[in-house]
Amino acid sequence: MKILILTASPIRDSIVDILLAQELQKYGHEVFVRPCLREGRKAVLEVQPDTVVTPPIRNPYSRDMVEVLKDWGVGVISRHTEPSCDWHDFKKMDSNRQHEIFGQYPYKVDAELVWSQDEAEILNQRDCGFKAYPIGATTADAYKHPEVIAQYRNRATFNAKYKFDDTKKNLLICSPWGFVDSAPDLHVEEVDEAKKDIEGRDRHFAMIRAISHDLKDKWNIIVSVHPGVIQKPYQDLCVELGIPLDTESTSFILNIHSDAIIHAGSTMALNAHWLGIPAFQFGDINAKDSKSWWSDPESPISKVSPYFKTPTDLLVAILNCQPASNANMQAIEALEKGRFGNMDGQSTVRAAEIINKIQGKFKFCWPRSTKDYSQLTILRDGRRLLTSMKCGICGNDFVVVNESWLEMLRSYTGFKGDFRPPHGSACPHCAARWYQREVE
C-alpha cells in the first residue's frame, strides 16, 4: 500500500513519524511523511494514498478531511500526538469536560492510536464504530534508541551553527506554551484558555536575563520557543542579550545537543531524563489559573524535575549540577501508569502493527457538495421537513411539519389559500384533550 503520514507539529513530531515510517516500510509499504496543517490536503492529492495516518481529530477542519478520505476509500488512522487523561483525571471532570474528551465533533476513522491503557478504555466507551488502541508514549521512542541519537547527533555542526564555544556545555531554555496565539484559520477551541499571559512572560524573561548575565561566560545558552508561541518578544530579548533563539530545529535535535534543560513543566523533563542530563523547572504551566482539566499543579509532569521559584535559586542549582538525570522516578512511574502509558521506546512498532492491518484503496470521486440540492420530495436532511419538539404538557417527543416545506408544497400545487395551519407546543394526544375541553 501507499501510506501517507501527516505530521501534526514537525518541530515536535517529525522524529516520531520518521521512525513510524521506517517501521511501516518493513512491511513492504511505500510511505510518505508530510506536514498536516495547510499542506495535508495537497499531499493527499499528490500521493493518492491507500492509508492515511492523521493527527487527532479535534476541529471541523480535520473532521471534514477524514470524511472526504473515507469517501475516497482510504483507510484512516488517527494518531494522538500527546497524552490525554487517565481514569483519575476523567472521574474528576464534569459531564461537559468528559464530552470533550470523547470528541466535540463526531468523526469516523478505522482506528485511533492513543498513548495509555486508561485513555483507550475511556474512549472505547463511545459507540462510534471504531476502537482506540494503546501504543505507549511516542515521545519516548527516539530517546530510547542510542543508534537513533547517534544518527542525528553532530555536536561540532550544531555548535558551529550557533557560534558556540566547544569547551562549554550547552544550556537549553524552553519557553512555556502559555503565551500561545493560535492561527485563526486553524482554530482549536482547546487552546483558548492559553491566552497571552503577559505577567507570566515577564517572569520568564526576567529569569532568562538573570541566567544569561551570570552563566554566559560558563555555558553556551540557547532559547527555543514552543510551537504556537508568539516569537517576536523572544526575538527582541535574545538580540538584547546576545544569545541565539531557535525557531526551526526539532525538539529532538535541541535536546540531544544540550547538557541541561530549563522548562516550565513539560515532556522536556522526560527527554532530559532519558538523555541522562539534568532538567530544571522554572514556574509551572500546570499551576496557572485555568479551567482546563490538564492544568493541575499536582500533576506528575510537574513533579519530574526539581522546581524553582526564583532565578537566584535556579542559578545555584545549575552551577552545582552533575552531568546526570535529576528526575523524580516516582513521578515518571505515575505518568507511565496514568496519562503517558508505556515508555519502552516501542510505540511506533506497535502502531505499525495496527496500521498494517488497515486495508484501504484510494479511489478518487467527486466530492460531496456543501450545497443542499434537496427538492420537494427528495431531501438530504429530514429536518427540512420535520422539526422535533417536546410536549409542553406531558413532556413526550413529537414532530411538526415545517412551514417552509409547506410553503414549497403550496407553491408547487398552485394552491392560493393559507397552506400553513398553526400548531401549538403540545403533542397530538395532549392537544386533542385540550381542544375537546375547550369545545365542551
> What's the pLDDT tens digit per position in 153-170?
999 999 999 999 999 999
* pLDDT confidence band for 26 (50 / 70 / 90): very high
In the predicted model, is pLDDT for residue 284 greater than 90? no
Contact 31, 25 (CB under 8 A): yes
Which residues on neighbouring strands pair with residue 51, listed in sequence order?
3, 75
- pLDDT at position 439: 46
In the predicted model, is pLDDT for residue 191 greater than 70? no
State the average pLDDT over residues 416-437. Answer: 74
Let me know if 128 is exposed, middle or buried by CB neighbors in 10 A (0-12, 13-18, 19+): middle
- pLDDT at position 179: 47
- pLDDT at position 255: 97
- The rounded mean pLDDT for the chain is 88
- Grid coordinates representing 71 are 469517501
Torsion (CA) 311, 314, 316, 321 in degrees, nearest 10: -160
- pLDDT at position 182: 46
Query: Which conformational region is residue 8 in: left (phi greater than 0), alpha (psi within -120 to 50 degrees), or beta?
Result: alpha
Closest C-alpha to 88, from 299, 344, 288: 299
CA angle 252, 258, 261 (to 5 degrees): 90
Which residues on neighbouring strands pair with residue 79, listed in sequence order?
113
Give the count of beta carbons closer than 10 Å to the beta carbon of residue 174: 24
Lowest-pLDDT range of 64-78, 172-186, 212-226, 228-242: 172-186
Distance CA(262)–CA(223), nearest Å, equals: 10
List domains and CATH numbers for the chain. 2-139+348-356 (3.40.50.2300), 154-332 (3.40.50.2000), 382-439 (no CATH)
- CA-only gyration radius of the chain, Å: 28
Lowest-pLDDT range of 88-97, 122-131, 175-184, 327-336: 175-184
State the average pLDDT over residues 359-382. Answer: 83
Between 409 and 363, residue with greater pLDDT:
363
DSSP 384: G
Contact 307, 298 (CB under 8 A): no
